[in-house]
Amino acid sequence: MATWLCALLGESSYEASLEMLDMSEIQVGDYVLIHTGFALQKLDEEEALETLKTFEEFRNLNKDLDIEEQQHNTRIT
Amino acid sequence: MKHIDEYRDKELVRLFAEEIKKIASRPVKIMEVCGGHTMSIQKFGLPYLLPENVELISGPGCPVCVTSRKYIDQAVAYSRLPDVIITTYGDLLRVPGSTSSLDQEKALGADIRIVYSVLDALLIAKSNRRKKIVFLGIGFETTAPGSAAAIIKAAMAGLRNFFVFSAHKVMPPAMEALIDEGVMIDGYLGPGHVSTITGEKIYYPIPEKYGLGVVISGFEPVDVMQSVLMLVQQIENKTPKVEIQYTRVVKPEGNLKAQQMMEEVFEFRDDWWRGLGVLKNSGLKIREQYARHDAEQMIEVEVEETIEPKGCICGEILKGIKKPKDCKLFGTVCTPTDPVGACMVSNEGSCAAYYMYNR
């Protein structure tokens, strides 16, 4: 039967049903996406960090290009 | 919330905007299907950051907006029955029907209760056994599994006074219909939360049949900008495909458990969409096996004749042909406090989002 979770977001707390998730894959401390009273998916920490890594690489690539552009005084496209 | 700052990082948004500008060689129109994206795009002013040749247009992804006036009229009719309690998500309340709205009926004494979840409606059914509890089931693949879960629970618990009035719809037929109708777009920003449930496969026909790309996007500004970049790259390289940017919650296969619940309770039927008309197999009807919990089949009611509002161009806005500012009612006769059409009511509606952030 339904299992419940209590989620904290800042000062507020929500109750949501976990029945749409695979209970063997979630544990206390996980982040989940909640929509209209149901947890719809567990937030994939690995994927989230991977996305942030992509952002960081993108930022660094842009920095490198800026430096290169300054050095050669041309616009790289 | 964890990591929220990174996803709202101004510098990153600017860098993505520059990169998009660098590679976009021709004018492109990208449609965001989902009302949540419309809100985020307007809130963070993203159209002003994109180069002139990359345009974002809003699509038919606001559940309240595409729902027919007839549905509102029928909900109003249910609310007038003395033994009925209406339970609904809040944004449906102020949607104008032909001659009334749920809000007006509530003011006149009808028992209409706003719930945050369909599960709250089940609790109301449990503690009001002598009343018929009608839950107004609207929304796409994000909310349909919840309604399905509630119906399954009601059936198991023998809660015979719990009914769902389904206006649930599925997204892909509308996305295909827009292209079939000749609305000129070059790619779709795919809905994030719908896709959490469905996964990516429901969009495969878009690149296969129509040669357009779909990038399933998150809702933060950096998410949206990265997704736009991914789409522009696809367009420039002529490699339309389905990609997931929102990988932290969207799995390629989606949420199988939720899909099974939907499949168990609902079957497809042809359904009417504001702006698009009747689309084949685009609506969800409660299966015969669960007919006992289907308000349409179990509660007979007389519904008034539908009157559409004059001058409202909500339908054309939902198709991306016109923008809210093209409507002569926008911001004058039609405002969020006194809406004429559905697009001005829901937070996710284009008119409401433009009114709030981009007037």
Tally of CB atoms within 10 A around B208: 12
- Give the domain CATH number at B88: 3.40.50.11740
DSSP 8-state class, residue B305? P
Within 8 A of B258 by CB-CB distance, chain A residues are: 20, 40
Residues B38, B109: one domain? no
Query: Looking at residue B115, what is its pLDDT?
Result: 97
Sequence-separated (6 or more) residues with CB below 8 Å from residue B286 = B151, B164, B166, B265, B266, B293, B294, B296, B297
Residues B120, B269: one domain? yes
In one-letter notation, the amino acid at residue B61 is G
- The model's pLDDT over B5-43, given as tens digits with 9 standing for 90+, comes to 888 888 899 999 999 999 999 999 999 999 899 999 999
Q: Is A61 on the interface with B (CB under 8 A)?
A: no
Residues B202, B270: one domain? no
Contact B194, B259 (CB under 8 A): no
Containing structural domain, residue B122? 64-170+254-298
Query: Looking at residue A77, what is its pLDDT?
Result: 53
Residues B259, B153: one domain? yes
Please tell me the distance from the alpha carbon of residue A25 to that of residue B275, in angstroms, as a whole number. Answer: 42
Integer angstrom CA distances of residue B92 from B40, B42, B148, B342: 21, 22, 20, 9
User: pLDDT category, A55, cuts 50, 70, 90?
Assistant: confident
Candidates A36, A54, A62; nearest CB to B143: A36
**C-alpha distance from A71 to closest chain B C-alpha (Å):** 20
Residues B128, B179: one domain? no
User: pLDDT category, A8, cuts 50, 70, 90?
Assistant: low
- The model's pLDDT over B90-149, given as tens digits with 9 standing for 90+, comes to 989 999 999 999 999 999 999 999 999 999 999 999 999 999 999 999 999 999 999 999
Within 8 A of A17 by CB-CB distance, chain B residues are: 117, 119, 149
Within 8 A of A51 by CB-CB distance, chain B residues are: 245, 247-248
Which of B173, B253, B186 lies closest to B214, judged by CA? B186
Q: Of all helices (H) and strands (E), which one includes residue B88?
A: strand B84-88
Inside any domain, residue B76: yes
Examine the pLDDT at B243 and tell me if it is beyond 50.
yes
- The model's pLDDT over B260-313, given as tens digits with 9 standing for 90+, comes to 999 999 999 999 999 889 999 999 999 999 999 999 999 999 999 999 989 999
**C-alpha distance from B62 to closest chain A C-alpha (Å):** 15
**Average confidence (pLDDT) over A33-53:** 90
- As for the ipTM of the complex, it is 0.86
A10: left (phi over 0), alpha (psi -120 to 50) or beta: left
